[in-house]
Amino acid sequence: MSGTFLFRLGLTLVILQAFAAVFAPWIAPYDPNAQDILARMGGPTVEHWLGTDNFGRDTLARALFGYRTLFAISAASVLGALLCGGGLGIAAAWRGGWADTVTMRLMDILFAFPIILLAIGIVAVLGPGAVSTSIAIGVVYLPIFARTLRAPTLLLKEAEYVVASRAVGAGEWRLVLRHLLPNLAPVILVQTSLSLSTAILVEASLSFLGLGTQPPTASLGRMLAESRSFLSLSPWPAVFAGVAILLAALGFNLLGDGLQDRLDPRLRQH
């Protein structure tokens, strides 16, 4: 099966980069803000594997700390959207009736905004920074999780084993926790992984525009934006910041895509 290789590639990328993000303070060769003025704008060398920027800061160290920011914000916003948006979608489908209609129409309205524009609007209200970026990206993904989890809940609610369980007197919470959520797990895993992939790109875009985490916290998007001013002198920080963003988004996308193949029974025959 051809997808296996890509799935493993995605999983490996995610594990390696998550490791880099978590352990950045221990594995980074330098302090990300330490300036080595004599080694400014250098290419890859033995001392600085990925070169240095215009202040002589080590690109590898800044990229590792940049992963930390990127993963923390993307994960916080996607998990928040999963809990709030997914919860709303499941509750709407489970309740049905007007609660369902009102919730989903509200989600339609949020879904109508182009992603980046909505995120920019929210950051404009809350002011630039890590917390407001997380909130902005989380809000963007609310309707996506609500929609993705509502549809299978509608089907599962009518499934024979759920109806049977209800008939023998199982409570609502037991039905949701024991029967609904385990069956929603594949959808949740796939959607979370794919959303993390695009949330990473949105976070990087916002910090490229200067709306994400503020200096001196390292951020891959801002690293790319700042290195544009000395691009013709030293392209290395720009090259590696972009490669890091691409690999992070790519890893989660391959993982989500592979999970979809593995977990969706309709595709399993191929």
Partner 1 sequence: MTHSLLRRIGQLLLVTFGVSVLAFLLIHLIPGDAAELILGAEDRSPEALAALRADLGLDRSLFAQYVIWAGHVLQGDLGHSISTGRPVLEEIAGRIGVTLELTLLSMLAAIALAIPAGCLMAVLRGSAADALTRLLTIIGITMPGFWLGTMLLYGAGAIAPGVPLIGWVPFSVDPVGNLQRMILPVIALALPVLAGLARVLRASMQEVLFADFIRVARAKGLSEARVIFRHALSNALIPFITSAGILAGYLFGGSVVIEQVFALPGLGRLMVGAIAERNYPLLQAALLLATTAFVLVNFVVDVLYMAADPRTR
- List interacting residues with partner 1 (CB under 8 A): 1-3, 5-6, 9, 105-106, 108-110, 112-118, 120-121, 123-126, 128, 197, 201, 204-205, 208-211, 221, 224, 228, 231-232, 235, 238-239, 241-242, 245-246, 249-250, 253-254, 257
Instruction: Give the whole-angstrom CA distance, residue 181 versus residue 161.
Output: 14
The least distance separating partner 1 from the CB of residue 185, rounded to whole angstroms, comes to 23
The least distance separating partner 1 from the CB of residue 55, rounded to whole angstroms, comes to 19
What does residue 47 show for φ and ψ, rounded to 5 degrees? -70, -45
Instruction: Give the whole-angstrom CA distance, residue 137 versus residue 132.
Output: 9
* Bridge partners, residue 58, by sequence: 52
What does residue 58 show for φ and ψ, rounded to 5 degrees? -70, 125
Which CB, 186 or 210, lies closer to partner 1? 210
Which CB, 180 or 248, lies closer to partner 1? 248
Which CB, 159 or 231, lies closer to partner 1? 231
Which CB, 45 or 229, lies closer to partner 1? 229
Which CB, 160 or 266, lies closer to partner 1? 266
Instruction: Give the whole-angstrom CA distance, residue 80 versus residue 88.
Output: 12
The least distance separating partner 1 from the CB of residue 259, rounded to whole angstroms, comes to 13
Which CB, 1 or 38, lies closer to partner 1? 1
Cis peptide before 44, with omega less than 30 degrees from 0? Answer: no
The least distance separating partner 1 from the CB of residue 86, rounded to whole angstroms, comes to 21
The least distance separating partner 1 from the CB of residue 105, rounded to whole angstroms, comes to 6
The least distance separating partner 1 from the CB of residue 85, rounded to whole angstroms, comes to 16
Q: Pick from 26, 7, 134: which is nearest to 70 by CA?
A: 134
The least distance separating partner 1 from the CB of residue 17, rounded to whole angstroms, comes to 13
| Element (DSSP H or E) covering residue 183 | helix 181-208
Which CB, 120 or 170, lies closer to partner 1? 120
